[in-house]
Structure 1
């Protein structure tokens, strides 16, 4: 029987069970703690709530360490860069001042710098490094800042891309939330046994929650997530004026564009219901009670299989999507999704109306996505690939 090893999980953006979301790294920490001694290092600043955590958090069998940073209000801006700089400085101090005793580090990407720091110290401190890619930086900036997606923008961002490559290159193994991301990160062409694509997924399949959908005259379409630059939510608001007689639309979440969207919604008649940020279980129940989920990622965005897509699948919902990522399109092409043209509110409204008039098709799409969720998104099954990868490295 293998002796218990010491595993460090580094995840600056983690959310705890009493905060919105069901975080990937909490699940991984719990699974690994069954056989190993696990320490979780994260930020005292909660990214999703944009607030400082005052109290410590307890996770059974897991040591939790908070590192300070000043925090930020917007997801894109110099305030965030400054905050991350402070976090990384404190992280480096943590590594140097705490007698490093870990056999393996499982590290979230982003941040780039935390992974670069770990990579530079890996040989001296003698540990294995697994990098789990949640998002690809700097490429992800093309969504909220599409003017950087041209050749000139890529030239400007080239130094950051090179820095990212250096961080990726330190990994002994890679995990990613999509094939797109792992292909970007695999700069060393690792052996396939040290690469795993594991969707974000969920701890439970929400469509199994006991809740009957209301027999309403209109269908309910829902967007859940951040109201920010990578998401074309204005198109949904404009579409609501056309399909208002057949479709109710709700937004769950918040973000820097919320007030602007609310103003536009009010000017157009107020047909979108802004419900704000809800506790995760309540948000999933609202999703589960919906008829359609909307995935409005702008065409320039680099996101692939996102948190919201995982939630949509785990709620067994038909998905209306304008995302151009090939991997997402292939996943939805099995019959559980319908594509609409990004930025075209008339096309979105027409697709919503057609689905509202065909409840049989909606039911068929839902069943397809439930099967996909059972196969690829249930964490107790899909995350075993991560655990087995870690065990291979520890041996």
Structure 2
């Protein structure tokens, strides 16, 4: 099977891109290992680092079955929601439209949403060449564009967003062969733009690849955390992710660290971002807070292995309240008890599976940590529940293997393969 993956904004399997592979990268490697010919269309611009990996279009052979195509836009952006990023999106869509016609036709296209213009051009390609398109809704573009504006202006901005983008978004959502999403809200988003949900539309969680790192890398990681003064005997509360105060609620975490009187409890906040220096300044006086910056996969694996709690410390904005970030599965993979400030999907799952707790104040955050930490039986029970949930629903080896089988069905068994510009339903049947 020949598969195209359209996804920019994730770490790439090249030397000058930091970070661990995420959904698109994991899928590309898995699909190629299963014998499919994979082409991953991405960008020369690195979303997390906000810098270019190279300054021109390139095709990089990752392995015999896996090629990486980097498209180049001169509109590198600093803000994730900005007019420059919209121009960047248009650039990639336009370049993909041109370059895709020079390549052998794929059997199926898997396209992440956003970017809007990647998806829009994927749909147009599917119509032209009768290729099925699976849209994976990862973020609620363009609905989230209104968030940076004051609330009093948001209704006006929303009208403008609808005028500018609704037709394009509706075409994509109505015309895709299948729509998948990371949480139920993503499928409701598709419905809001006119899609009538079908049997093949379903949830595919952001799963985590728990493949162990090498013994040598793990030893070096242990040495690093030993130098930071961490050990298994402590109650370690860990956060991994972007250090941004727009999406992250670090104020509550700092207040908790200031009020915490238990010397065995240590807070570790891993990552970089535009709030990192401010957070460092706020925590300089706290001996129970460690800010180690960006850490590699081995270092994070060891940290989580010796941690008790993992944090989803986010503000309840419209785009995050129901999110299940990549770190959700990563925490579960090591049996961490997850503490979430989000009122939506993460809270519902954690309370249902009894492997985490919701907090909304500094006091509830600290009391939850203390009550669980002081009850070995409860702690062990919640840890077992976390590991079971990971195995069943968030293990990339299972989740993405099932998704590969789904894509085979779509590619090989769909009636009226491809998409319809008028939004007519596509149906999928397994080969008899």
| Post-superposition CA distance 1:128-184 (Å, at most 9, x none) | 111112222134457766848965554444344554333222210122222221232
CA RMSD of aligned residues (A): 2.9
Q: How far did 1:95 drift? A: 2.6
Counterpart of 2:404? 387
Q: How far did 1:338 drift? A: 0.8
Determine which of 120, 124, 130 is the counterpart of 1:126. Answer: 130
Counterpart of 1:115? 119
Contact 2:354 2:382 in 1 (8 A): yes
2:335 is equivalent to residue 319 of structure 1: no
Counterpart of 1:295? 312
Q: Structure 1 unaligned runs (5+)?
A: none
Counterpart of 2:425? none
Determine which of 377, 380, 395 is the counterpart of 1:360. Answer: 377
Using a 3 Å threshold, how does the CA distance of structure 1 residues 235 and 64 change in structure 2: closer, same or farther?
A: same
Counterpart of 2:71? 67
Cα distance in 1 for residues equivalent to 2:190 and 2:88: 25
Instruction: Select between 142-151 and 98-107 the one with higher mean Cα deviation.
Output: 142-151
Counterpart of 1:224? 240
Counterpart of 2:227? none
Contact 1:22 1:202 in 2 (8 A): no
Counterpart of 1:11? 7
Q: How far did 1:86 drift? A: 2.8
Using a 3 Å threshold, how does the CA distance of structure 1 residues 63 and 308 change in structure 2: closer, same or farther?
A: same
Cα distance in 2 for residues equivalent to 1:232 and 1:141: 20
Using a 3 Å threshold, how does the CA distance of structure 1 residues 128 and 255 change in structure 2: closer, same or farther?
A: same
Counterpart of 2:420? none
| Post-superposition CA distance 1:196-227 (Å, at most 9, x none) | 312111222669x98999342x4110111112
| Post-superposition CA distance 1:53-97 (Å, at most 9, x none) | 24946234112111112423333334433433333332222234x
Q: How far did 1:236 drift? A: 0.8
Query: What secondary structure does 1:393 align onto?
Result: helix
Counting only pairs closer than 5 Å after superposition, residues 109-188 of structure 1 correspond to structure 2 as 109-141=113-145, 147=151, 151=155, 154-159=158-163, 160=165, 163-186=168-191, 187-188=194-195
The alignment's TM-score, normalised by the length of structure 2, stands at 0.80
Q: How far did 1:105 drift? A: 0.9
Q: How far did 1:102 drift? A: 2.0
Query: What secondary structure does 1:255 align onto?
Result: coil
Cα distance in 2 for residues equivalent to 1:149 and 1:27: 40
Cα distance in 2 for residues equivalent to 1:39 and 1:141: 30
Cα distance in 2 for residues equivalent to 1:375 and 1:300: 29
Using a 3 Å threshold, how does the CA distance of structure 1 residues 374 and 154 change in structure 2: closer, same or farther?
A: same
Cα distance in 2 for residues equivalent to 1:141 and 1:60: 40
Query: What secondary structure does 1:245 align onto?
Result: coil
Using a 3 Å threshold, how does the CA distance of structure 1 residues 79 and 260 change in structure 2: closer, same or farther?
A: farther
Instruction: Select between 149-158 and 17-26 the one with higher mean Cα deviation.
Output: 149-158
Counterpart of 1:47? 47
2:16 is equivalent to residue 21 of structure 1: no
Using a 3 Å threshold, how does the CA distance of structure 1 residues 58 and 368 change in structure 2: closer, same or farther?
A: same
